[in-house]
Structure 1
Amino acid sequence: MNKIYYFTGTGNSLQIANDLNEKLSQCSVHKIAKYSGEKIDTKTLGIVFPVYYWGLPLVICDFLCKLDVSENTYIYAIANYGGLPGKALDQCEHILKEKGLKLSAGFLINMPGNYIFGYGAKSKKVQEKLFEKESKRIVDIYDCVKTRKESKIEKSHAVIDRLFYNSFYKHINEFHEADKYFTVDNNCIGCGLCAERCPVDNITMVKGKPSWNHHCELCASCIQSCPNKAIDYKGKTKKRKRYLNPNVKL
């Protein structure tokens, strides 16, 4: 049996998980946020996630710390990024090592950027090129996983990337409370898509409006999913072009 656990805000990690799942036999795909620490019985375990602030999302750190698998499980990780990959795979390897587990392979995949707090969505042409590259990378990853091949953890070749990790990742612990900066205007129609798609169930609908519960991952799924662009963050995102992966259903 093969299992893949993923975390996604706008669909990139889900696409990677689904694409790999289609190639692996006897495989199943699971949401990382639903994992509560039970023993995972599997021959290979894939962990798919986005890079946040040049490192691991908090929900991934929590998952790795709770992870319960046998020592002979082949564990591999796939980090996808829109800008630079930072040290997310290094972190993953370190946390697993502290638990007496081994990260047997780590892969980096460049996907369409979705960091709406800093920029709008890339053009369709750029997105399509990245999706084409992703499909080729999936073939390489599949070849590695099917034979349980031990390989070097992929790393960024940009020195500035490693420096950014040291400067920015220390702010990751502020993410849970950062949802206090979300605002909702009168364009909200109370559809509830933001709450439905929040990957960590951090949103509750109160009197037809979203209310955040301070366990945010800053994935921006709520902003990206809002059909009326009613949700904003610090007044920065209102006019930016939204992004949702067109190849998956959230």
Structure 2
Amino acid sequence: MNTVIYYYTGTGNSLWTARAFAEKLGDTELVPMHRMNHGSHSSKADMVGLVFPVHIWGVPRLVRNFLQSMGKRPGVYYFAVAVNGGQVSRTLIQLKELMAKDGLTLSAGFDIKFPSNYIPWGGPGPVEVQRKLFNAATEKIKVAALYISNRKSGLIEKGPLWQRVLFTGLYKMTYNLVKTLDNSFHIDGTCTSCGICERACPVKNITLEAGRPLWHGSCEQCLACIQWCPEECIQYGKKTKNYERYHHPEVKVEDILRELISKRDFRWQGARVNDIVFHKVE
């Protein structure tokens, strides 16, 4: 195997990106980060990619935890892709610094913009604008994949100076608070107890209690729960009921759950995703 890409996704942008890079690079294995346990990185790939969303203008906690379990292997080419809604800030520089502490060298880092999934601040925008972003992402992936294939080094993309100053400060101030931000999730009364929110959460922060989701204070703010809810009954704060839900149009909830069910919830071990009944998923 030539390449392995470890990815973290909530609503599909990063999964789609990882798939697109795999197609361009060839001979690539895709592995969700949340499946990897400490010390379990045994891949002998020559190139290792990290694809993940920007959370609160920086590297998500899940990704930082994942980095701690990456073993150092001489000669491996590391690259990263920070998926974001337009404010990559200093994320890839931060990642490079975190990797350096563990003796790993990030050779290339790319910023790819998608429609925002951060529904507390609004919907993803008009369809025509989304389409332009998808097309631009496709073209950028072609260029980035060529750079990676040639094992070039030195390109670490970043946002403008004002983002790197302002948003990095906000990231540091809020980092330890993010996991408790799930206290703003609530149900508007139409929950059917389908359990998709529970099973889609990459950090197992949700359980169903009396048939309704309960959050446990270890949130990643990936927003998979609210965005994949087929009844749109999960809300965050007071405004989200008025906002359009979003996931990447080429990623389905089955794609997300397929990576989670057998590893995450013993009640679903051995079950096939296609055997699970989903309501209004399409």
Band the TM-score falls in, shorter-chain normalisation: over 0.9
Matched, 1:202 2:197: no
Does the aligned pair in 2 maintain the 1:223–1:229 contact within 8 Å?
yes
Q: How many Å separate the matches in 1 of 2:12 and 2:210?
A: 28
CA contact 1:39–1:69 (8 Å) conserved in 2? no
The TM-score, its normalising length taken from structure 1, stands at 0.95
Say if 1:4 and 1:17, in contact at 8 Å, map to a contact too. Answer: yes
User: In the TM superposition, what is the alpha-carbon distance from 1:219 to its structure 2 partner?
Assistant: 1.1
Could you list the runs of 5+ residues in structure 2 that have no partner in the other structure? 257-282
SS in 2 for 1:117: helix
**Structure 2 residue 101 is matched with structure 1 residue 98:** yes
Instruction: Indicate if the aligned counterparts of 1:104 and 1:149 stay in contact, CA closer than 8 A.
Output: yes
2:97 & 2:42 partners in 1: Cα distance?
20
Q: 2:221 maps to what in 1? A: 218
Aligned residues: 249
Q: Kindly, what percent of the aligned residue pairs are identical?
A: 38
* Aligned-residue offset at 1:40: 3.3
Structure-2 residue corresponding to 1:239 = 242
Please state how far the C-alpha of 1:125 moved relative to its aligned partner: 0.7
Consecutive unaligned residues of structure 1, counting only runs of 5 or more, are none
Matching residue of 1:8? 9
Query: How many Å separate the matches in 2 of 1:97 and 1:166?
Result: 19
> Counterpart of 2:146 in structure 1: which amino acid?
D
Secondary structure in 2 aligned to 1:54? coil
Partners of 2:124 and 2:244 lie apart in 1 by: 5
164, 167, 182: which one aligns with 2:166: 164
Which residue does 2:116 correspond to in 1? 113
* CA displacement 1:207-250 (0-9 Å, x = unmatched): 21111222210111111111222111222322111111101223
Contact (CA 8 Å) 1:71, 1:100: kept in 2 or not? no
Question: 2:92–2:157: 8 Å Cα contact kept in structure 1?
Answer: yes
- Output the CA distance in 1 between the equivalents of 2:214 and 2:68: 29
Moved more, 45-54 or 63-72: 63-72
Amino acid at match of 2:7: Y
Residue of structure 2 in register with 1:40 after alignment = 42
Q: 1:83-121 CA deviation, whole Å, 9 max, x = no partner? A: 311111011100111111100101111111111111112
**Counterpart-to-counterpart distance in 2, 1:40 and 1:92:** 21
**Which deviates more, 48-57 or 166-175?**
166-175
- 1:29-70 deviation digits (Å, cap 9, x = unpaired): 111111112133221111001111111111111111221141
1:26 aligns with 2:30: no
CA distance in 1, matches of 2:149, 2:137: 18
Runs of 4+ in 1 over 3 A off after TM superposition: none
Contact 1:8 1:49 in 2 (8 A): yes
Deviation of 1:7 after TM superposition, in Å, equals 0.8
**Secondary structure in structure 2 of the residue aligned to 1:135:** helix
More helix by share: 2
Alpha-carbon separation, structure 2, partners of 1:81 and 1:65: 23
RMSD between aligned alpha carbons?
A: 1.4
Measured in 1, the distance between the counterparts of 2:148 and 2:90 equals 22
Q: Are positions 1:178 and 2:175 aligned together? A: no
For residues 136 and 233 of structure 2, what CA distance do their matches in structure 1 show? 33
> Which position in structure 1 is the counterpart of 2:261?
none
